[in-house]
Amino acid sequence: MDNPVHLSAPALRPARVIRARRLRSILGRDWKVAIPFVLPMVLIMVGLIAWPFINAIFLSTTSLNFLTGETQYVGFRNYQRLLTNSDFLFSLENTIRFTFWSLAVKIVTGMTIAMILNSRIPFRSVLTGIMLLPWIVPEIVTALAWKSIYDPIFGGLNPILQGVGLIDKPLGWLSDADLAMPSIIAVNVWKGIPFYVLLLLAGLKAIDREQLEAAEVDGANVVQRFRNVTLPGLRYVIVVVLLLSFISTFNQFGLIFLMTGGGPGGATRLYSILAYEKAIGSLQYGPGIAIAFSVAPLMALLIWLLAKFMRQDDKQAATDKGPTISDRVLALLGLVMGRLLDLLFLPFELIFEGLEKLSDAIHRLFGRSSHRPILKRAGRERRSLITRLLILFPFMVFVLFPFYWVTVTSFKTTPQISQRVSIFWPDPGTLGQFTSLIQDTPFLKWFGNSVLVATLSTIISVALASLAAYALSRLKFRGAGLLTSFLLITYLLPATLLFIPLYQTLTELGLINTYGALILTYPTFLLPFATWVMMGYFRSIPVELEEAAMIDGASRLYAFWRITLPLAAPALLAVALFAFTNAWNEFLFAFVFITSESLRTLPIGLQSMVVGDILPWGQLMAASLLTAIPVAVLYIYAQRFLAEGLTVGGVKG
C-alpha cells in the first residue's frame, strides 16, 4: 500500500488563497466582518417577521372545525367568503371613510399650521413645540382623554358647545352611530398633527424664498404663490407624508378600539378590529388572518411606491435609461394629486380674485390708483401677523385642551366630577385621585412592567440597529442592498398584519403571557427605523477616521466601538428615545400577548380600569398624567439631540 502524500503548508496556501478570493468575489470584500454585525438583526427579522408572515399565509387557508376541534385546510375559501360577508364589507367601508377624511383634514390642517409656523411670528419655537405635543402622548392617554371630553354627562365638550349656542342638549358623541365616526376622525387628526407639521415644516424651510418674492413682485396673490411655487417645492414631501400616513391610518387599531371598541353597532368597526375579533376573540385564526391579509396587496403597492420615492435619487444616479413602470406610476400619482389640489384651491383662488376686484373698486371709488397700496408696508405686515395668529389660535386650543382637561380632572374630587361642579377648574384641588390610584390599583406594578419592557426592548433594538447600520453603511458584502430594502419594508409593514401570526408563533414557543413575548416582539417595529436612521448618521461620519485607526493596527470592531460609535451619540440618543417612546406607548401587542394582571404594562393596565360603563374618571386622568410625564421629561431633556440625530439620519438615510 502506497504511503499517503502529505502536502506541505506552502503547497496548501495557494489553494486557500484561491478559495478566499473566490468567496470574496462572490460574497463581497467584507463578508466575514459583516456576518457578526448583521446576523442578530437578520435572525430577528427572519424569525419574528418573515417566518410568522409566511406561516400566516398558510394559516389563512385553514379553518377551525368547532365540532371536532381540528383545523382543516379550506384553500382560498376564507378570502372568497369575504366578498359576500356583510360585516367585512361594512368594516372595509368604515376603514375607507375613516382614512379618506382623516387624511384630507390632516393635510389641510398640517399645511396651514406649517405655513404659519414657517412665517415670521413671535415665539415661533415655543408654538412649534406645543404643536408637537400630541406626538409624545401615549395612545391610551389620548383615547382616555378624548373619551372623557366626549362623555355626554361628565365631559367638557357638551358644556362648551351649549355655552356658545351650537347645541341645545348634550350629545352622545361616541354612542351615536352618526357622530361616532366624525368623533374618532377628529381624535386621529389631533394625534396626527405633529407628524404632518414636522415634515411639512422641514419641506417649507427648503423652499427658496427668492422665488416666492419674485412671484409676489409679478403680482401673484397668496393662493397663487402657494399653488405655483410652494406646492411644487413640496411635491416629494407631500407624497411621502400622505403615503406614510395612509399606511398608518388605514391600519389604525388601538385608538378606535380603546374609544369605541368598534361600536356603536359596528359604526366604527374597522377591518383591523374585525380581524382581531375573529382571530383572537373567536379563535378563528384562518378567517381572522384572511381579513387582515385582504389588504396586503394594497399595502404592498403603497410600500413599493414609497420605497421608489424614497430611493428615487439613488435610482436616477445609477442609470440614465428611460422612464420605468414605477416612474410612470409615480407620474400618474402626481398628476392625480395635482388635479385634486386644483379642485381644492379653486374656491380659495376665486375668493382672492373677488377680494382683489373689491379692493380695485374701493380704490377707484376714492380716486386712487389700483396699484397704489392703501396701507403702508409696516401696517400690512402687522395686519398679516394678526391674521396668522388668529388662524393659529383655534388650532392651539384644539391641541392644548385635552392636556388641560386631563390635568384639571386629575386634581378634582370624585363628587366634584360626578356632580359637575366647577367643570373647568378643580374647586377645591386635591391629590386624592393620585393617592387612590397608587393605593387601590396595581398602578406601580404596571409602571414597573412598562419600565422593564421598554428599557430592555430599547437596549436590544438600539444595540442591534447600531451593529447592522454600521455594516450596511460601511462594509461591502452581497445582499446589503436587499437587506436595506427589507428594512424599509418591515418598517412600513403594519402591525395589524403581524399580531395574529406572532400570537400563533409565541403560543407555539410557550411565550404567551410572559415578559419575553413583548421584549422579543417589540424590536420587530423598533429595529427597522433605528437601523435606517443610524445608517444615515454613520454615512455622515468621515470614514478616514476609521481607516487611520485600522492602519495603526486596530480591528474593524475596535474602530467601530471606540471611534465611530461615540461620534454617533446624537443619533444613538435619538433612536433610543424613539424606541423607548414607542415601546412605552405600545398597546396592540401588549393587549393581545399579555393576559395576566401582574404582567400588564401601563396601556393595558389603564384599559383594564374601565369595567363596562363604569369609568373612574378621576383615577383614569391621574393615571394618564403620570403615564405621559416620563416621556415628556425625556423629550424635554433630549430635544436638541433628537432634532440633530433624526435630521441627519433622515436626510442621509
Cell representation of residue 327:
416612474
Nearest C-alpha neighbor of 404 from the set 415, 416, 396: 396
What's the pLDDT score for residue 489?
78
Non-local CB neighbours of 122 within 8 Å, separated by 6+ positions: none
What is the average pLDDT across 391-418? 91
Domains 32-59+442-595+626-653 and 76-300 share a fold: yes
Structural element, H or E, at residue 73: strand 70-73
CA angle 409, 410, 412 (to 5 degrees): 65
pLDDT band for 23, please (50, 70, 90 cuts). Answer: low
Is 64 within 8 Å of 82 (Cβ atoms)?
no
Least trusted range by pLDDT, from 93-97, 135-139, 177-181, 371-375? 371-375
pLDDT band for 300, please (50, 70, 90 cuts). Answer: confident
Distance from C-alpha of 216 to C-alpha of 223, rounded to nearest angstrom: 11
CB-based burial, 627-637: b 16+ in 10 Å, e otherwise: bbebbeebbee
pLDDT band for 426, please (50, 70, 90 cuts). Answer: confident
Question: What CATH number belongs to 32-59+442-595+626-653?
Answer: 1.10.3720.10
- On the 0-12 / 13-18 / 19+ scale of CB atoms within 10 A, 476 is middle
The residues spanned by each domain of the chain are 32-59+442-595+626-653, 76-300
What is the average pLDDT across 147-161? 91
CA distances (Å), origin 370, targets 221, 356, 362, 377, 380: 15, 10, 9, 16, 16
Nearest C-alpha neighbor of 400 from the set 104, 610, 126, 607: 126
| DSSP assignment of 203-214 | HHHTS-HHHHHH
The whole-model pTM stands at 0.82
Q: What is the mean pLDDT of the chain?
A: 81
Q: What share of the chain is helix, strand, coil (3-state, %, to 5)?
A: 75, 0, 25
Indicate the CATH number of 76-300 among 1.20.1260.10, 3.40.50.2000, 3.20.20.120, 1.10.3720.10. Answer: 1.10.3720.10
CA angle 19, 21, 26 (to 5 degrees): 95
pLDDT above 80 for 3: no
What is the average pLDDT across 33-42? 87
What is the average pLDDT across 209-215? 71
Q: Are strands 70-73 and 62-65 parallel, antiparallel or unpaired?
A: antiparallel
- On the 0-12 / 13-18 / 19+ scale of CB atoms within 10 A, 152 is middle
Nearest C-alpha neighbor of 556 from the set 33, 10, 4: 33
Q: What would the pLDDT profile of 572-629 be if each residue is shown by its tens digit?
A: 888 888 889 889 989 989 999 998 989 999 999 998 888 777 788 899 999 999 988 8
Question: Is the peptide bond preceding residue 264 cis, with omega within 30 degrees of 0?
Answer: yes
Q: What would the pLDDT profile of 242-282 be if each residue is shown by its tens digit?
A: 888 898 899 999 899 999 999 898 999 999 999 988 887 76
Question: Which of 4-8, 196-200, 315-319 reaches the highest mean pLDDT?
Answer: 196-200
Non-local CB neighbours of 99 within 8 Å, separated by 6+ positions: 246, 249, 250
